[in-house]
Amino acid sequence: MEIRFHGRGGQGAVTGTRILATALYYEGKFTQGIPMYGTERRGAPVVSFLRIGEQRINERDLVHEPDMVIVLDPLLGKSVPITDGLKKGGIVLINHPHKGRETGLGGDFKVATVDATNIALDTIGRPITNTAILGAFAKVTGSVSLESIEKAINDQWSGRIAEMNINAVRKAYEEANMPEDVSDLPPQKVEVKPGERDVSSWRVFRPELDKEKCIGCKRCYILCPEVAIGMVDGKADINYPYCKGCGICVEECPVKAIEFVQETL
Determine contact, residues 76/129, Cβ cutoff 8 Å. no
Model confidence, pTM: 0.89
Give backbone dihedrals phi and psi of 41, rounded to 5 degrees, phi first.
Answer: -105, 175
DSSP state letter for 86: P
Determine contact, residues 122/165, Cβ cutoff 8 Å. no
For residue 162, give Cα distances in angstroms to 118, 131, 230: 18, 10, 41
Query: Could you tell me which CATH number the domain at 2-181 has?
Result: 3.40.920.10
Cα separation of 77 and 103, whole Å?
9
Query: Could you tell me which CATH number the domain at 200-262 has?
Result: 3.30.70.20
- Range list for CATH 3.40.920.10 in the chain: 2-181
Cα separation of 7 and 170, whole Å?
21
Cα separation of 33 and 48, whole Å?
8
CA angle 114, 115, 119 (to 5 degrees): 115
**Which neighbouring-strand residues pair with 11?**
none
- Range list for CATH 3.30.70.20 in the chain: 200-262
Determine contact, residues 110/100, Cβ cutoff 8 Å. yes
What is the reported pLDDT for 193? 61
**pLDDT tens digits, the chain, 265 residues: what are they?**
999 999 998 899 999 999 999 999 999 999 999 988 666 577 888 999 999 999 999 988 899 999 999 999 998 888 889 999 999 999 999 999 999 999 999 999 999 999 999 999 999 999 999 999 999 999 999 999 999 999 999 999 999 999 999 999 999 999 999 999 999 999 988 876 666 678 888 888 999 999 999 999 999 999 999 899 999 999 999 999 999 999 999 999 999 999 999 988 7
Query: Is the C-alpha dihedral spanning 149, 153, 159, 163 positive or negative?
Result: negative
